[in-house]
Chains A and B, each alone.
Chain A
Amino acid sequence: MQLRTEPFVLNIGPVHPSTHGVFRMRVTLDGEVVIDLEPVFGYLHRGVEKLAEERTYTGVVPLTDRLDYVASMSNNLGYVLAVEKLAGITVPERAEYLRIIMTELQRIANHLIAVGSFLNDCGAYFTPFLYMFRERERIVDLFDMVCGQRLLYNYMRPGGVSQDIPDEFMPALRKFLEQMPLFVEEYDRLLKENEILLARTKGVGILPAEMAINISASGPVLRASGVDWDLRKADPYSIYDRFSFDIPTGTNGDCYDRYRVRIEEMKQSLRIINQAVEQLPAGPIRSDVPHLIHPPVGEAYARVEAPKGELGFYLVSDNSIAPYRCHIRAPSLLNLTALREMMIGWKIQDLIVIFGSIDITMGEVDR
C-alpha cells in the first residue's frame, strides 16, 4: 500500500524563539520534511538608509549602531571609514589602534552570541548560551567603561573615536585577554566532541563553496565553505596589515564548520587584540575635523569585515552636510540568500539549526 501524506504550510515566525528577531519562514512540510520554504522579512524595517539622508555625517553614527545591534562597533567602523574616504580625513595612530581593539572585542562578543544561540537552537538547554553570555558581559563592561553604553556604543567618529580609554580599561582588558582562552577551551570541553551535536550538525545544511561565492556570501558562512576570503587580509583596511593572524576556514560548509570557524575566529581576534595592546601608541584620538563635514561632490564605498561578513557603506555626497544617498551592504541579508537551497529536504529541526548557524541579526536584514 502506498502511503500518501498531505503537505501543509507552517509559519515559523515572525514571533518564534529561534528566528533571532522577527524573521518569518513560510515552510511547506511533508510530515517533518521541509519541501518548500519562503523567507519573509521586513518586519523590522525602519528606513535607516533614508533616515541617514536627513542627518549630518556625524549624526548618522548612532543610526549605524542600530543596524546590527550585537556588533555596533563594527558598524561604526564601516561607516566612519566611508566618510573618511569621502572627505579625505586622516585618522591619528592611537585612534586606529583603539578602533581595532574595539572591533575585535566586538567580533568576540558577536561570535559568543552567535555560537551560544546556535547551540541553544541545537537544544542544549541554555547552558552554553549562558556560559557565553557570561564572557560577553565582560566585553560589554569594557565597552561601558569606554563609551558609557552597553549595547549601542556610538563610539567612533569621522577622524577618530569619541573619547580616550579611561585608566581602569587597560588592566581590565589585560585580565580579560588572559582569561578568555581558558573560557574558549571550556566551551570546547563542553560540547565540541559531543556525539549528539556532531550528529545534528555534521553534514547538515551544506553550502558548497561555489554556491557560497555565487550568492556573494561572506564572513564565517563563506569561510566555513572553504573559501579563504577575509577582508582583513584580502583588502586590508585601517591598520590590519600590521598584525599577524590566520584566517580559519572550514572544509564542508556544514553547520559544524560554521560553528568551528566562529570559535577559531575568537582565538584569532584575541591574537590581534594582544598585538594591538602591545603596540598601542600615545597621542591624540581624533584629528581636527569640523563639526559639520562638507565632503566634496563624489561617492565612496568602504567595506569592513564585520563579524557576520562584509559590511559595506556606499555614500554619495552633494557637498552638503548630509549624505545625498547612503546604501548599506548588509552581510546578514546576503547570507540568507541560499536559505531555501540549504534547507530543502531537511527536517524541521534541522531547519532551526541551519538557520541558527547562519547567524543573522534582523536589525541588519531589514535596516
Chain B
Amino acid sequence: MTIANLSVDTLSRLQGLAPDWPGGFWWHLLLFTVLIIAFVLIMVIVTIYIERRGIAFFAARVGPNRTGPFGIFQAFADGIKALLKESITPVSADKIAYWLAPAVVFAPVIMVFAVVPFSDGALLADLNIGILFVVAISSISTIGVFMAGWGSSNKYSLLGAMRMVASVISYEIPIILSVAGIVIIVGSLSLNDIVLAQQDIPFILLQPLGFLLLFIGGCAEINRSPFDLMEADSEIVAGFHIEYSGIKFAMFYLGEYGEAVVMSTIITVLFLGGWRGPVLPPWLWFVLKVAFMFFIMVWTRATLPRVRIDQLMAIAWKFLFPLALLNLIITAIQVLVWPDVLPWIVILINFAIAGILILIGSRFYKLGWGRIEV
C-alpha cells in the first residue's frame, strides 16, 4: 500500500496545480497511470482477501491463514502458483479469441479508473462525460467474456457466455437509469462534480431507491451472487473460463475481482460521497468505502441461493426497469418542483417512496415462467 499512499499524498499536495490534461503536466498522466494500475492490483488483492476470509467467516470456517500474518499473502501465493502452471490451449479452440479474451476482460477494469477521483481533483482525467465513460467502458468486459466462451469451444463455457451477454444487456438499462437520477440532481456527468456535490449529504439518502437498483443491477452485471449464473460452480462448473488455466485463468480472476472493485467504486462515488469523510485522509475514506461495499457483496454471496436465468431476466425487466424509470421521473419532478426544499424532508419522502414502490413492485411481478412444454 505504501506506493499508492505516497502517490495519493503527493497528488493531494499538488492538487492546487489543476491537472490541465492533455496539456499541462505530462507527468500527471504518467503518475496517475502507474497509480491506477497499482491501485487496481492492490484493491484486487484486498478484495480477494476480504472475499476468502469473509466467506470463511460466514460459513463458520477459518479461511486462508497460513501465508503471512492472518493469511494476507495468500493472493500472492495463488498468483505465483498460477504463473507456474502449464497454460493449456484446447486443440479445437479459436486461438485468437481464446488468447485475447483475458486481456479484453481485464483492460477495461483499469481504464474505468481514469475518471474516478481519489481525492478532490486527484484523478487522471476530469472528463465531462465521466459516468457515461464508466458505463460504456465497463461493458467492454462482456465482449471478452463472450470471446472466452466461444473461443474455448466448450459447451459449458458457451452456455456461461450466452448467459453473461443476456444478463449484461438487460441490466445495463436499470443501471444507467438509476445513475441518471444522480446526474439530474448534480447537473453534471463528471465524477469529480458528483463527489463535490455530496458535500452535505451523501446521495444514498437522497436516492435510496437508486442505490438499491444500482447495487442489485451491479451485482448482476459483474456476476456476483445471487446472479452469478455465468460461472455457476454447481451447474456449468466455471462457465466461460472452464478451459482456462495458468496465467490466463489468473487474468480472468483479476478481471472478475477488478470488476467488483469497479462496481464498488461507482457505488461509492455516486452514493456514498466518494472520498469525503471526517478525520481520516480522503484516499483512506475512499478505500474503506470501496472495501465496505465489496464486503456487502461477499455477504450476499455467502447467504443467497442463485436465481434461474429466466428469473434473472424477469428481475431486470419486470422489477428493476419499471422502478428505475419511476425513480428517474420522481427525481426529475423533485428537482424541478422543489429545488430548495430542506434536504431532510426530501430524504424522508424519498425513503417512503422507495419503500412503497418496492412493495408495489414485488406484488406485481412474477419470478420466471417455470416449466416449458416440449
Using a CB–CB cutoff of 8 Å, the interface residues on chain A facing chain B are 8, 10, 16-18, 30, 32-35, 119-127, 129-131, 134, 190-191, 194-197, 199-200, 203-204, 344-350, 352
A123 touching B225 by the CB < 8 A rule? yes
Q: Could you tell me the distance between the alpha carbons of A344 and B155 in the complex, rounded to whole angstroms?
A: 19
Question: With A and B bound together, what is the CA distance between A196 and B368 in angstroms?
Answer: 11
Instruction: Check: B132 CB closer than 8 A to any chain A CB.
Output: no
Which of B59, B159, B226 makes the CB contact (< 8 A) with A348?
B159
A348/B236 contact (C-beta < 8 A), A130-B60, A199-B367 known = yes
Task: Assess the A199–B304 pair: CB atoms within 8 A.
Answer: no
Counting from the closest, the 5 A-B pairs by CB-CB distance are A123-B306, A122-B305, A199-B367, A130-B59, A124-B305
Evaluate contact between A33 and B372: CB separation under 8 angstroms.
yes
Given the known A-B contacts A347-B310, A348-B236, are A200 and B305 also in contact in the complex, defined by CB atoms under 8 Å? yes
- Contacts A121-B234, A199-B308 supplied; 11 other A-B pairs, CB < 8 Å: A17-B233, A18-B235, A32-B159, A33-B374, A35-B374, A123-B306, A131-B60, A195-B367, A196-B305, A348-B235, A349-B235
A124 to B301, CA, bound (A): 7
Chain B residues with CB under 8 A of A352: 234-235
Decide yes or no: A200 and B234 within 8 Å by CB, A127-B302, A345-B373, A349-B229 being known contacts. no
Q: Which residues of A contact B368 (CB under 8 A)?
A: 199
B residues within 8 A CB of A123?
Answer: 225-226, 228, 232, 234-235, 304-307
State which of B237, B309, B370, B373 has its C-beta within 8 Å of the C-beta of A17: B237
Interface 0/1 of B260-303, CB less than 8 Å to A: 00000000000000000000000000000000000000000111
Q: Which of B225, B229, B307 counts the most chain A CB atoms within 10 A?
A: B307
Interface residues of B (CB under 8 A from A): 55, 58-61, 155-156, 159, 225-226, 228-229, 232-237, 301-311, 367-368, 370-374
B221 to chain A, nearest CB (A): 18
Evaluate contact between B155 and A10: CB separation under 8 angstroms. Answer: yes
Known A30-B374, A123-B225, A131-B59: A349·B305 in contact at CB below 8 Å: no
Residues of B within 8 Å of A199, CB to CB, are 307-308, 311, 367-368
- The reply to whether A346 and B59 contact each other, CB–CB distance below 8 Å, is no
Most buried by B among A123, A124, A191, A348: A123
A134 to B61, CA, bound (A): 9
| B309 CB contacts on chain A under 8 angstroms | 32, 347, 349
Which A residues are CB-close (under 8 A) to B235? Answer: 18, 121, 123, 348-349, 352
CB within 8 Å for A203 and B370 given contacts A119-B305, A348-B236, A350-B308: yes
Instruction: List B contacts of A8 (CB < 8 A).
Output: 155
Which residue from B61, B303, B370, B374 sits with its C-beta under 8 Å from A124?
B303
For A347, the chain B residues whose CB sits under 8 A away are: 308-310
Given the known interface contacts A126-B55, A196-B307, the answer about A134 and B60 at a Cβ–Cβ threshold of 8 Å is yes
Q: Which residues of the partner chain A approach B301 to less than 8 Å between Cβ atoms?
A: 125
Q: Are A196 and B371 in contact (CB-based, < 8 A)?
A: no
Q: With a CB–CB cut-off of 8 A, which chain B residues contact A120? A: 234
Please determine whether B232 and A349 come into contact, CB atoms closer than 8 angstroms: yes
Known: A17-B233, A127-B58, A134-B60. A196 touches B304 (CB 8 A): yes
The answer to whether B225 touches A125, judged by C-beta atoms less than 8 angstroms apart, is: yes
- Complex CA gap A32/B311 in Å reads 13
> With a CB–CB cut-off of 8 A, which chain B residues contact A346?
371-372
Closest to A205 in B: B371
Task: Evaluate whether A200 and B237 lie within 8 angstroms (CB atoms) in the complex, with A127-B302, A345-B372 already known.
Answer: no
Contact A190/B305 with A345-B371, A349-B229 known, Cβ cut-off 8 Å: no
Do B302 and A349 touch across chains, with their CB atoms under 8 A apart?
A: no
Shortest CB distance A226–B (Å): 19
12 A-B residue pairings within 8 Å (CB atoms): A10-B155, A122-B305, A125-B302, A127-B302, A127-B303, A129-B59, A134-B60, A196-B226, A196-B306, A197-B305, A199-B307, A203-B370
Q: Which residues of B contact A191 (CB under 8 A)?
A: 305
Taking the closest CB of chain A, its distance from the CB of B195, in whole angstroms, is 33
The distance from the CB of A33 to the nearest CB of chain B, in whole angstroms, is 5
**Whole-angstrom distance between the alpha carbons of A50 and B61 in the complex?**
42
- In whole angstroms, how far apart are the Cα atoms of A194 and B309 in the complex? 18
- Known contacts A123-B225, A127-B59, A134-B60, A16 near B237 by CB under 8 Å: yes
